[in-house]
């Protein structure tokens, strides 16, 4: 059996053979002896729960500047039976972009983050290593009437986000980030660089929401920009139990998915603290694509119970709203979007659900009580409806469309490291998830791939089986799962690009 240092040497030799004598490999390949190895490994990790002394580490980290370096890495990894973990923004909830239980390398796209905006045809080419904040900032430098319907956290990577769907405050008006992808460049298992025409419509369909990492390495995406008004309005209204929070949450379920599609109001129920220091409230957090004078009458008509006043609202440009929704205080400079410090970095476990019938009041009371049991627990409710109702379930692999009232994300965070502490919080969130079963979607109990949850099931890494993977695959993709597996059999039948929840090939008959 080869030792890890001999595998490394062989791999480096392979890389230099690919590049000739004057290889740049020393600038882009880092092994555990390199002084930069730990720094790069940790740099974008969002869930530190997965980075400790006992978690497996990559033999090498490669930070390519050029696609030929990725082609070489794919070729050499196959030759040396190494797995590849591709990392764009590092926000995978279960750490799958930097963790693997068999010998592996990381291809970290940190140096591939260019953004080219073309206002003439209202598109942009964005490399996978860029993050959402960089995209929003670059857009703002060119136009204040163009936006992009993606997520809220600026450090989320384009690669993983678009690969799993991606949604944020423009969801009800324009759908998902993946709905706006019109072309892409991918490196396939044979090291070929393919654009939409060359990869064909089936593979192009699969990469727009089928979950990153199953079909190849996406280098860049061509996205369609969307129109936003020059002035939009944001507000956040906090309600405690005494101020009728639960009655408002209950009411919101009936109306938020039916609001005018310019109006997006999500709810965050946040509990922080313990003992006498507890605070819990429902936070009604909104983006309206218009000005206050249009919003107030609309709210008086659609959601008078919230009692929204003009002074609760702030007019701003759409890009300023991305700073606001990222959690920075009002008036923060746009440059905050470029800050790579992750505001929300902490150990966490999350789960998701889709709701198709309003949750009864007594069950909401039960949730509220359960959130109080943890020190840092959040439940985020993102309303669907609007444009999401118009897009077919089969349009891209993300199937949660017409009929979904809202998405729930449950999240628990903690600071103390260690297995005992983690187990306690994980046990709590699993029990909340069990409690929710009667109130959320059934057959399947659906989940969102970008809020990855390995509790739903995992592949056997050496021998992924379609029927076993269907247990979690159908929750994420419903009937699109089979089509994803059929695409996989065509483009990567040997299942080279794989992880614990990658799409397995569809079994061949016989
Ligand atoms: P990361 O680099 O970890 O990749 C995720 C997966 O995609 C991995 O399996 C990885 O191997 C694969 N991958 C990455 N780049 C690839 C490439 N170029 N080619 C092939 N495979 C690739 N979601 C949402 O919809 N709306 C939101 O508002 C938010 N907000 C949010 C906030 C915070 C703090 C976190 C941690 C996460 C979110 N998310 C979210 C979820 C987010 O969309 C999801 O975790 C994405 O997969 C993250 O993409 P990254 O590139 O950052 O992750």
Tens digits of residue pLDDT in 160-173: 999 999 999 999 99
pLDDT at 392 over 60: yes
Ligand 1 atom at shortest distance from the alpha carbon of 176: 25
Q: Tell how far the Cα of 161 is from the centroid of ligand 1, in angstroms.
A: 4
What's the average model confidence in pLDDT over 251-274? Answer: 95
451 included as an active-site residue: yes
What's the average model confidence in pLDDT over 242-257? Answer: 98
Q: Tell how far the Cα of 145 is from the centroid of ligand 1, in angstroms.
A: 26
Q: Tell how far the Cα of 326 is from the centroid of ligand 1, in angstroms.
A: 16
Q: Specify the DSSP class assigned to residue 213.
A: T
276 CB neighbour count, 10 Å cutoff: 5
- Choose, from 98, 451, 466, 476, the residue flagged as catalytic: 451
The residue contributing the CA closest to ligand 1 atom 36 is 91
Probe target for ligand 1 pocket from 63, 92, 496, with the most ligand atoms within 8 Å of CB: 92
User: Who's near 453: CB < 8 A, 6+ residues apart?
Assistant: 93, 94, 350, 351, 352, 447
The residue contributing the CA closest to ligand 1 atom 43 is 161
Q: Tell how far the Cα of 91 is from the centroid of ligand 1, in angstroms.
A: 5
Q: What is the pLDDT of residue 4?
A: 75
pLDDT at 22 over 50: no
What's the average model confidence in pLDDT over 403-415? Answer: 96
Question: pLDDT of 58-97, one tens digit each?
Answer: 999 999 999 999 999 999 999 999 999 999 999 999 999 9
Phi, psi of 84 (to 5 degrees): -115, 135
Judge residue 285's burial from the number of C-beta atoms within 10 Å of its C-beta, 0-12 exposed, 13-18 middle, 19 or more buried.
buried
**Nearest Cα to Cα of residue 250 among 401, 371, 367:** 367
Question: pLDDT of 344-355, one tens digit each?
Answer: 678 999 999 999
Q: Tell how far the Cα of 151 is from the centroid of ligand 1, in angstroms.
A: 10
Q: What is the pLDDT of residue 342?
A: 61
The residue contributing the CA closest to ligand 1 atom 31 is 153
User: Who's near 226: CB < 8 A, 6+ residues apart?
Assistant: 146, 147, 148, 149, 170, 173, 174, 180
Pocket of ligand 1 (CB under 6 A): 46, 85-93, 96-97, 109, 128, 151-153, 156-157, 159-161, 163-164, 166-168, 212-213, 217-218, 344, 450, 499
Ligand 1 atom at shortest distance from the alpha carbon of 159: 15
What's the average model confidence in pLDDT over 112-124? Answer: 98
What's the average model confidence in pLDDT over 206-229? Answer: 97
Ligand 1 atom at shortest distance from the alpha carbon of 213: 21
The CATH code for residues 4-111 is 3.30.43.10
The residue contributing the CA closest to ligand 1 atom 40 is 151
453 neighbors 348 (Cβ within 8 angstroms): no
Q: Write the ipTM.
A: 0.99
Question: pLDDT of 420-474, one tens digit each?
Answer: 778 999 999 999 999 999 999 999 999 999 999 999 999 987 778 999 999 999 9
Q: Tell how far the Cα of 60 is from the centroid of ligand 1, in angstroms.
A: 21
């Amino acid at each position: 059996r080869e030792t890890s240092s001999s595998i490394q040497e062989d791999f480096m030799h392979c890389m230099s053979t690919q590049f000739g004598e004057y290889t740049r490999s020393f600038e882009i390949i880092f092994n555990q002896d390199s002084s930069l190895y730990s720094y790069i490994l940790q740099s974008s990790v969002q869930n530190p729960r997965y980075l400790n002394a006992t978690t497996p580490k990559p033999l090498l980290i490669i930070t390519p500047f050029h696609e030929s370096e990725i082609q070489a890495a794919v070729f050499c990894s196959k030759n040396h039976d190494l797995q590849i973990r591709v990392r764009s923004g590092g926000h995978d909830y279960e750490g799958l972009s930097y963790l693997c239980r068999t010998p592996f390398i990381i291809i970290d796209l940190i140096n591939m983050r260019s953004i080219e905006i073309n206002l003439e045809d209202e598109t942009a080419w964005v490399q996978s290593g860029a993050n959402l904040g960089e995209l929003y900032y670059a857009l703002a430098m060119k136009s204040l009437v163009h936006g992009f319907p993606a997520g809220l956290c600026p450090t989320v990577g384009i690669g993983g986000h678009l690969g799993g769907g991606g949604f944020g405050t423009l969801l009800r008006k324009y759908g998902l980030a993946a709905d706006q992808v019109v072309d892409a460049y991918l490196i396939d298992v044979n090291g070929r660089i393919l654009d939409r025409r060359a990869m064909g419509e089936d593979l192009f369909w699969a990469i727009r929401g089928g979950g990153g990492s199953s079909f190849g390495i996406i280098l860049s995406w061509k996205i369609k920009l969307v129109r936003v008004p020059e002035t939009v309005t944001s507000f956040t209204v906090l309600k405690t139990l005494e101020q009728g929070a639960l009655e408002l949450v209950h009411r919101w379920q009936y109306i938020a998915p039916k609001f005018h599609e310019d109006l997006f109001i999500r709810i965050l129920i946040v509990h922080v603290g313990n003992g006498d220091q507890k605070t819990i409230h429902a936070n009604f957090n909104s983006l309206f694509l218009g000005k206050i004078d249009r919003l107030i009458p609309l709210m008086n008509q659609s959601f008078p119970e919230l009692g929204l006043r003009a002074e609760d609202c702030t007019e701003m440009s759409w890009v300023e709203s991305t700073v606001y929704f990222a959690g920075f205080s009002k008036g923060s400079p746009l440059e905050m979007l470029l800050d790579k410090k992750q505001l929300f970095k902490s150990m966490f476990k999350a789960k998701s659900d889709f709701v198709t019938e309003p949750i009864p009041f007594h069950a909401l009371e039960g949730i509220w009580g359960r959130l109080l049991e943890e020190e840092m627990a959040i439940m985020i409710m993102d309303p669907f409806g609007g444009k999401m109702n118009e897009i077919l379930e089969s349009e891209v692999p993300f199937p949660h469309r017409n009929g979904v009232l809202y998405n729930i994300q449950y999240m628990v965070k903690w600071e103390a490291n260690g297995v005992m502490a983690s187990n306690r919080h994980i046990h709590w969130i699993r029990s909340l998830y069990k409690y929710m079963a009667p109130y959320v979607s059934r057959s399947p109990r659906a989940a969102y791939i970008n809020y990855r949850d390995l509790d739903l099931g995992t592949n056997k890494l050496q021998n992924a089986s379609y029927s076993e993977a269907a247990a979690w695959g159908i929750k994420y993709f419903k009937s699109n799962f089979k089509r994803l597996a059929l695409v996989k059999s065509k483009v990567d039948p040997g299942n080279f690009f794989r992880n614990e929840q990658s799409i397995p090939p569809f079994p061949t008959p016989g």
